[in-house]
Structure formats: structure tokens, C-alpha cells
Chains A and B, each alone.
Chain A
């Protein structure tokens, strides 16, 4: 029985910061779904704030590396999807306020 929860995965991913905007990927609302099977294999479905982001591959690698640090985790797969397209309403309120409030 796997002891890792979706919350643990989100917490791990929240250490990954987007260097352009300075917020972590979870509060940006870029992580759509986390699935964990009984063998602790993790599948993360996420998006990026812009298609054609030059950091695309690096960000997915950082997400994978962050989750692999969890104790007892199995395989980690990251899938980037473009539907639904990200928009600012998906971000936490503090991010929305910070981006709009300068």
C-alpha cells in the first residue's frame, strides 16, 4: 500500500519556481492532476503558462526530480497538456493579486 498522497506530491512540486514570474508551479495553477497507483508510481498532468516556452523540457525535468525526492516513490511520469489552456483564474489568489497589483 502506497503511503504517498497527492498532497505530498503537490508539496514537492511547490519547490519548483518559474524563474520568469517568481511563483511556484502549484500556486500558478499549472499542475492539473496527480495520480498515484498502489506501487507509488506517480503520474502528473500539467501545463505551462505559454506554449513555446523555451524552458518546457527543463521545467518537466525539475518537476520529476522534485517528486523523485519523496520517500518510497516509484516511477514518475510528467505529461504536459494544452487543453484546457492555462489562464490566470487557475492561479492562487495571491499570484493573481501580485501579477495584477504592481
Chain B
């Protein structure tokens, strides 16, 4: 038996800024996409700038905010030093702005921004490890938190080596190091974190019980091995090892998808709310991404297949999984802070009443259409279609932003 004490739950004033700033970065990153074309290479510095804006400003900020709330839920203990999250956010925010400015305007800012981002992530990882030491439970989710944070630390180190290399302080193969950095952070931290946390949250919100977690365990091990293989293969320029790593990762993702399918079969709650719709589109995007990635592996295939696969993975899968969960997590946090003390004394709202349904629906459809158009545009290198897709996502992002403000202000 255990209890999640109210003392374990961080206050809303600590977590809300993560979500507010995260969706702001999301909006800015989609506006920035309007200035890109459908044909590009990953070596372009403008693309690196956009990826850091989206992945650090939106994905990392939201994941860190969510982890502030979810780590006690998953580990069943309180944070080691929860107040460190007050330091993590400004460091990450300013660091991201400096880094993106560095990529787009003044390259010397990359190192300074990188140092701030590095510091924020090191603090996050150390706090997470200190909290992990307090827990006695040993679930697959706990294991993913431990592994993903280790990969994050290695990802930060490779990122910093790149920054030093760009500044001329050290001599490294930037292209190879970039691959290792991208894979350690995206596969090692973001993907493993999503895999682990979704195994707690999806059954919780869908009321699915009594499923075997064998598939996710295999998937988790394969993705971890794949990330290590790609990272080592990239750093030491071993092509076979890299390709093997990609393949192992894809098989691992296949097992993860199979686990989600098992959970779906046992889902009790069939309501197609904004969360459920977002999960369906998100996992659909992941399947599409895997298929496009596999096609790219065939001989003589254009890089467009890879671009489209990464688009569906980042904007479709990660974007929808995060945004869909915001409509569950934020109302809960607000309810917990403002309404839970009133239970039994006066009528309190239900969680589903606390998000604007029409705006959420508009956010979903505009974003979904935009992601599909954008993915097709990247595949066929069609600039007009790409801009049309981004325009749809932008409208969706505006609805998300308004929804977030309304959810955070509910009952104020």
C-alpha cells in the first residue's frame, strides 16, 4: 500500500509556467516553419535552429514540467528537491532562446545557450536520479526514467562537444557527432520517456487493466540497444553499426506499438475525447513514420522518405501525444490546486468540464490536417502544399494556446 501525499505534488505555480512557456514555444516554432521550404538537408544551420526551438522549447519544456508532476506518481515518492524546477525552467528557456538565436543570427551565442541548456538538463537529471534512489518499486516505467536520463546526460555531452567544435575549441566530425547527439536525445531520452510514461498514463486514462507488459519490456530493451548502437556507430564512424542500430530501434518501436494495441484491446473507456483522438492520431503517425523509415532503407530511395518519416515522428507522434495529454494533465493540476479543497463543501467541476471542447476539437482537426499535408509535401517536395499544411497547424497551435490559457485560468 502507498499514498501519493499532497506534499508530493508540486504546486501549480511551479508547473504551470512550464506548460505556458511550452505552448508558446510550440506556437513560435510553427510560425517559424512558415519560412521553410519542403526541400532541405539536416546539415543546414536554419534546420538545426528550428529543431532546437521545437525540441527544446516545446518538447523538453513540456516533458520537464510533466515530469515534475509525474515522477512522484510513477515512483510513488516525493521529489528529492522539487524547488530545483524553479531553476530548471529559466535556464532552459533562456538557453533555448540563445541557442536558436545562435543558429539563426549570431553563431557565437550557440555555446552560451548550450551551456545554459546543459546546466538545466544536468540539474533535471541529477534531481531525477536523487528521486529514483528514494523509490523501492521496480517497474518498467521506473527503469525507463533511469535509462532515459542516462541517455540525456550523454546527449548533452555530445551536444556540448558539437558546440565546442563549431566554436573551434575542439576538432570533431560535426556531422557524425550530430547524429549521435540527435539519436541520444530523441531516441534515448524523448522516445524512451514517452514509452515509459505512456505505459502509466494511457491505462490510467483509458481504464485498461490486467494486461501483460512483456511487449514493452522487449521494446524498451531493443530501443535502448538501438540507441547505444547508433551513438557508438556515429561517433566512431561505423556505418554497419549505425544501420543495425536503426533497424533494432524500429523493431523496438514495433513492440511498443504492439503493447499499445494490447492496452487498446482492454480499454474500458470508449469515449472519443480530445485525449483519445490525439492518441489515435499520434500512434497512427508513429506507424506511418516507421513505414516511411523502412521504405527509406530500401536501395536508392530519396531522402524525402526520411524527411517525411521524421516529420510524422516529431510533429505527428510527439506533438499529438504531448498536446493530447495537456488536456488531461492541466485540468487535473488546476482542479487539484483550486477545487480539491472544496470537495464535500460545495459543487466542484468534473475534469472534462475544465477544457474548452470546441477549441480543443478545432485544435485537433486543424493540426491533424496540417500534419498530413506537411508530410505529403515533404515526400513530393511541394512548397505550396507544405506552406498550406503549416498554415493549418498554425491555426491549430493558436487554438491550443487559447485553450491552455483558459484551462490555467479556470476557476481563478
Chain A interface residues toward B at CB < 8 A:
15-17, 19-22, 49-50, 52-58, 60, 62, 65-66, 79-82, 85-88, 96, 99-102
Q: Would you call B200 an interface residue if the criterion is a C-beta within 8 Å of the partner chain's C-beta atoms? A: yes
Q: Would you call B343 an interface residue if the criterion is a C-beta within 8 Å of the partner chain's C-beta atoms? A: yes
Partner pick for A87 among B6, B205, B210, B343, CB 8 A cutoff:
B210
CB distance from B209 to the nearest CB of A (A): 5
Q: Find out whether the CB atom of B270 lies under 8 angstroms from the CB atom of A102.
A: yes
Q: Would you call B41 an interface residue if the criterion is a C-beta within 8 Å of the partner chain's C-beta atoms? A: no
Chain A positions within 8 Å of B210 at CB level: 85, 87
Chain A positions within 8 Å of B207 at CB level: 21, 49-50, 88, 99
Q: Find out whether the CB atom of A54 lies under 8 angstroms from the CB atom of B4.
A: yes
Q: Would you call B225 an interface residue if the criterion is a C-beta within 8 Å of the partner chain's C-beta atoms? A: no
Q: Find out whether the CB atom of B74 lies under 8 angstroms from the CB atom of A54.
A: no
With contacts A52-B74, A52-B200 taken as known, whether A65 is within 8 angstroms of B4 at the C-beta atoms is no
Q: Find out whether the CB atom of B76 lies under 8 angstroms from the CB atom of A57.
A: no
Among residues of B, the one whose C-beta sits closest to the C-beta of A79 is B1
- Expressed in whole angstroms, the Cα–Cα distance for A2 and B335 within the complex equals 38
Q: Find out whether the CB atom of B270 lies under 8 angstroms from the CB atom of A53.
A: no
Interface size for chain B: under 10, 10 to 19, 20 to 34, or 35 or more residues? Answer: 35 or more
With contacts A57-B3, A58-B340, A102-B271 taken as known, whether A52 is within 8 angstroms of B348 at the C-beta atoms is no
Q: Which of B72, B73, B200 has the most CB of A within 10 A?
A: B73
Q: Find out whether the CB atom of A102 lies under 8 angstroms from the CB atom of B272.
A: yes
Q: Find out whether the CB atom of B332 lies under 8 angstroms from the CB atom of A54.
A: yes
Q: Find out whether the CB atom of B344 lies under 8 angstroms from the CB atom of A65.
A: yes
Interface residues of B: mostly helix, strand, loop or mixed?
Answer: loop
Q: A88-B268, A100-B270 are in contact. List 9 more A-B contacts (CB 8 A).
A: A16-B344, A19-B348, A52-B204, A54-B9, A55-B336, A57-B3, A66-B344, A87-B210, A88-B209
Q: Would you call B374 an interface residue if the criterion is a C-beta within 8 Å of the partner chain's C-beta atoms? A: no
With contacts A19-B335, A54-B336, A101-B270 taken as known, whether A85 is within 8 angstroms of B351 at the C-beta atoms is no
Q: Would you call B35 an interface residue if the criterion is a C-beta within 8 Å of the partner chain's C-beta atoms? A: no
Among residues of A, the one whose C-beta sits closest to the C-beta of B203 is A50
Q: Which of A54, A96, A99 has the most CB of B within 10 A?
A: A54
Among residues of B, the one whose C-beta sits closest to the C-beta of A62 is B343
- Expressed in whole angstroms, the Cα–Cα distance for A53 and B2 within the complex equals 10
CB distance from B347 to the nearest CB of A (A): 10
- Expressed in whole angstroms, the Cα–Cα distance for A62 and B6 within the complex equals 13
Within 8 A of A (CB), among B1-27: 1-6, 9
Among residues of B, the one whose C-beta sits closest to the C-beta of A20 is B351
Q: Which of B2, B72, B200, B205 has the most CB of A within 10 A?
A: B2
Chain A positions within 8 Å of B9 at CB level: 54
Q: Would you call B269 an interface residue if the criterion is a C-beta within 8 Å of the partner chain's C-beta atoms? A: yes
Chain A positions within 8 Å of B5 at CB level: 57
Chain B positions within 8 Å of A87 at CB level: 209-210, 268
Partner pick for A86 among B73, B200, B209, B272, CB 8 A cutoff:
B209
Chain B positions within 8 Å of A53 at CB level: 4, 204
Among residues of B, the one whose C-beta sits closest to the C-beta of A60 is B3
Chain A positions within 8 Å of B351 at CB level: 19-20
Q: Which of A49, A50, A53, A101 has the most CB of B within 10 A?
A: A50
